[in-house]
């Protein structure tokens, strides 16, 4: 068969269920063969960055390797921000990119693709020659999974119509669920737990597997410690009465107090970066035990006293075994007083967050609380980047970390719509909620809404529209300077969204917000919705 057909067949044989992309000279025949000969599912993006973001969103929700394809030159340069986002969020995807003919030194779209890709931190794997296709492509997938980052598979255009004997790619990942049965580090960890009186267990996205979550909760109950999660661990321990919620700079008052007073943190599957560590305030003067299957993550951001390289769930069960054998009692930190504090917080705190805003606007926290209470509970939630996150992160819940996707890795606005489309495609038919800002939507999200319409996704896009670039507004306001240049004169989003094929509403009051929620409940689940919610820039604040 031809090389482009062999690549398409290889994708199918590797189990690729969904391909995102934008076609051009160097990949159009590959995509055609994937659809025509392999009955593959292909989603056409409006922009190359959108295609990569869709693959990232797909990978985060499906827990599989995301796959996207673009052509060469400017198509690849258009993906660079999205590739950096994938690197910083450790998301495995393979991007199949064409390349210009090596013989044409003056090709208008010629660029050093390896140098560009490697500058983003992504991996680069070339198709060396047609005869090595199976080996090269399998290696790209292997690297994406084991290196936890995007890998670009580079396909010279001159290979596409050459003949090749098809060879099925072989791909196997080694079993990596390891546990430390006995070691000095384990002994030290058990010793720390024996003397801890106010321990807290913190888990991250690395503990998202149900069996890991259950094991860590058994461990927390055994040592009688409350539990908390990193931001990307959102969705763990939701039914536990001693769940402190998110650990970090956006912790609520009871969590901050409990974490601050703790004498030992036991961290499973979380990197313990500066934000999870509360800029150091939540980890200072504490003994820290960190469990992670990747040795490079142990102590990467925050120094730890003991590092255990192993599977979070298996290691949690091993520690329970050692605690039982040593007959070490629980700490007593799961107290009736803490349970009562948490119950009272959840009962009263939400109402205290909501404050009056000028006529024609809605309070950010009223919006988030309304979404939390009124949107389908079995959902996928995606957040773009912006000032609204201080309301969305602590309030909008999910049932498992797989159901949550953020685009904060590179701290770039405008990545949400593409990620939400990929997440929605991987959601198994469940609704997807995207919370984005007006600046992010206009920067690179508006055009990709057409893709959501074409794909008939059950996607609800909520725009937190304060007509400003929020971080810049805050900086001007903090110095008593005129924030005028942080404001923008956008078009009316609802009519624009309707022209693209979405159902759209504008919200300027609490009553209109209630009507919007009723419309969401009664929506056509094959037609995406956009809700443009007017907020007041001056009233936006952290809780």
Per-residue pLDDT tens over the stretch 32-57? 999 999 999 999 999 999 999 999 99
Q: How do residues 132-176 score in pLDDT, each as one tens digit?
A: 999 999 999 999 999 999 999 999 999 999 999 999 999 988 776
Q: How many CA atoms lie within 13 A of 162 on its CB side?
A: 11
Total Cβ atoms within 10 A of residue 103? 7
326/436 same-domain check:
no
3-state secondary structure of 95: strand
Query: And the tokens for 71?
Result: 């052509």
Burial class for 72, CB neighbours closer than 10 Å (0-12, 13-18, 19+): buried
Interval 75-100 mean pLDDT: 97
3-state secondary structure of 395: helix
Query: Which residue in 283, 289, 285 sits closest to 306, CA to CA?
Result: 289
Say if residue 352's pLDDT is above 80.
no
Residue at 131 is within a domain: yes
Domain endpoint, select from 315, 340, 365: 340
Give the list of residues 6+ apart from residue 384 with CB closer than 8 angstroms, or none.
407, 413, 414, 415, 416, 417, 434, 435, 436, 437, 440, 441, 445
Query: And the tokens for 490?
Result: 């956008």
264/118 same-domain check:
no
Task: Find the CATH number of the domain harbouring 496.
Answer: 3.40.50.970
**Domain ranges, residue 110:** 3-159
Specify the DSSP class assigned to residue 285: T
Residue at 165 is within a domain: no
Residue at 164 is within a domain: no
Query: And the tokens for 349?
Result: 């705190």
445/423 same-domain check:
yes
| C-beta separation of 504 from 531 below 8 A | yes
Say if residue 278's pLDDT is above 80.
yes
Residue at 386 is within a domain: yes
329/254 same-domain check:
yes
Biggest CA-to-CA distance, the chain: 75
383/290 same-domain check:
no
377/474 same-domain check:
yes
153/194 same-domain check:
no
Determine which helix (DSSP H) or strand (DSSP E) holds 222, and give its type and residue range: helix 210-222
355 vs 357: CA distance, rounded Å: 7
61/144 same-domain check:
yes
Residue at 434 is within a domain: yes
Domain count, the chain: 3
Task: Find the CATH number of the domain harbouring 272.
Answer: 3.40.50.1220
Burial class for 499, CB neighbours closer than 10 Å (0-12, 13-18, 19+): exposed
431/304 same-domain check:
no
456 vs 477: CA distance, rounded Å: 42
Say if residue 181's pLDDT is above 70.
no
Residue at 295 is within a domain: yes
386/294 same-domain check:
no
118/210 same-domain check:
no
pLDDT-based confidence at residue 237 (cuts at 50, 70, 90): very high
Residue at 167 is within a domain: no
Say if residue 517's pLDDT is above 70.
yes
362/511 same-domain check:
yes
Query: Which residue in 75, 74, 93 sits closest to 426, CA to CA?
Result: 93
3-state secondary structure of 352: helix
- Report how many helices (DSSP H) and strands (DSSP E) the chain contains, helices first: 20, 18
């Amino acid at each position: 068969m031809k090389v482009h057909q062999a690549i398409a067949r290889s994708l199918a044989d590797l189990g690729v269920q969904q391909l995102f992309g934008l076609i051009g000279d160097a990949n159009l025949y590959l995509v055609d063969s994937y659809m025509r000969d392999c009955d593959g599912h292909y989603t056409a993006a409006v922009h190359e960055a959108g295609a990569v973001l869709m693959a990232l969103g797909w990978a985060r929700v499906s827990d599989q390797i995301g796959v996207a394809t673009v052509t060469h030159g400017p198509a690849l340069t258009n993906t660079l921000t999205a590739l950096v986002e994938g690197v910083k969020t450790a998301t495995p995807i393979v991007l199949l990119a064409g390349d210009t003919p090596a013989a044409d030194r003056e090709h208008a779209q010629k660029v050093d693709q390896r140098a560009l890709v490697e500058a983003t931190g992504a991996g680069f794997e070339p198709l060396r020659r047609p005869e090595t296709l199976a080996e090269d492509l399998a290696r790209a997938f292997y690297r994406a999974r084991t290196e936890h980052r995007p890998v670009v598979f580079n396909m010279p255009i001159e290979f596409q119509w050459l003949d090749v004997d098809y060879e099925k790619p072989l791909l196997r990942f080694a079993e990596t669920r390891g546990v430390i049965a006995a070691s000095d580090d384990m002994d030290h960890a058990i010793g720390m737990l024996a003397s801890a009186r106010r321990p807290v267990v913190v888990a991250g996205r690395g503990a998202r597997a149900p069996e890991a979550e259950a094991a860590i909760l058994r461990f927390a109950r055994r040592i009688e410690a409350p539990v908390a999660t990193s931001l990307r661990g959102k969705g763990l321990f939701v039914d536990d009465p001693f769940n402190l919620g998110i650990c970090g700079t956006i912790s609520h008052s009871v969590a901050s107090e409990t974490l601050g007073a703790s004498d030992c943190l036991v961290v499973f599957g979380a990197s313990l970066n500066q934000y999870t560590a509360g800029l150091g305030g939540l980890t200072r003067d504490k003994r820290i035990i960190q469990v992670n299957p990747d040795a490079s993550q142990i102590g990467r951001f925050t120094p730890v006293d003991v590092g255990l390289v192993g599977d979070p769930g298996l290691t949690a069960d091993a520690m329970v075994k050692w605690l039982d054998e040593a007959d070490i009692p629980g700490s007593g930190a799961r107290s009736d007083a803490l349970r009562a504090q948490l119950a009272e917080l959840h009962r009263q705190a939400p109402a205290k967050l909501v404050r009056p805003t000028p006529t024609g606007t809605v309070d950010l926290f009223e919006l988030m609380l309304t979404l939390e209470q009124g949107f389908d509970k079995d959902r996928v939630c995606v957040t773009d980047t912006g000032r609204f996150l201080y309301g969305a992160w602590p309030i909008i819940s999910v049932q498992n970390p797989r159901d949550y996707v953020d685009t904060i890795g590179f701290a770039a606005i405008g990545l949400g719509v593409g990620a939400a489309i990929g997440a929605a495609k991987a959601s198994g038919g469940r609704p997807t909620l995207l919370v984005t800002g007006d600046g992010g939507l206009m920067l690179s999200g508006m055009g990709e809404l057409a893709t959501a319409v074409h794909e008939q996704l059950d996607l609800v896009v909520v725009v937190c529209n304060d007509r400003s670039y929020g971080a810049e507004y805050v900086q001007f306001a903090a110095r008593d300077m005129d924030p005028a240049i942080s404001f923008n004169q956008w078009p009316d989003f609802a009519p624009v969204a309707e022209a693209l094929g979405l159902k759209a509403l504008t919200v300027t009051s609490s009553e209109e917000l209630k009507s919007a929620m009723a419309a969401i409940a009664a929506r056509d689940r094959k037609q995406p919705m956009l809700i443009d919610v007017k907020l007041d820039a001056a009233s936006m604040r952290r809780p």
